[in-house]
Amino acid sequence: MPTPSMEDYIEQIYLLIDEKGYARVSDIAEALSVHPSSVTKMVQKLDKDEYLIYEKYRGLVLTSKGKKIGERLVYRHDLLEQFMRIIGLDESKIYNDVEGIEHHLSWEAIDRIGDLVQYFEQDEVRVETLRGVQKANEEKSN
């Protein structure tokens, strides 16, 4: 199983390849706000662990193992963002909060959050009811 740091790299590489068709060390470094040398070290580790194939100066490609995990990591991130919107979190806080929790949740917890998101999305009245509860709680605390 990849470490949280490895997950960040795999997720970003997956997103770059999905968006551009390729992922260069410089693009990964920019996206993650790290030095290219750090990316090179991690890419070499990911290559060794068979998440991708890396050829110096030629680029990299995700293996089927890397693609599968990358897809799951992007799903996890997107799902948690959806969940934060449903529970009414301020949009400006969503990205940082998701980044702060995504590596600490089990895949079982992610699946249950997925069930909850689906439950709320199936009927808008459920979201409206939640907003009513939130408003009542805010009024109690003021």
Known binding site for Mn(2+): residues?
Answer: 8, 11, 77, 99, 102-103
Annotated binding site: 8, 11, 77, 99, 102-103
Nearest residue to 51 (alpha-carbon basis) of 21, 16, 10, 94: 10
- Distances 14 to 57, 84, 94 between C-alpha atoms, Å: 19, 23, 21
Provide the H-helix boundaries in the chain: 4-20, 25-32, 36-48, 64-86, 91-101, 107-122, 124-141
**Residue 110: count of CB within 10 angstroms of its CB:** 16
| Residue 140, amino acid | K
Helix, strand, or coil (residue 103): helix
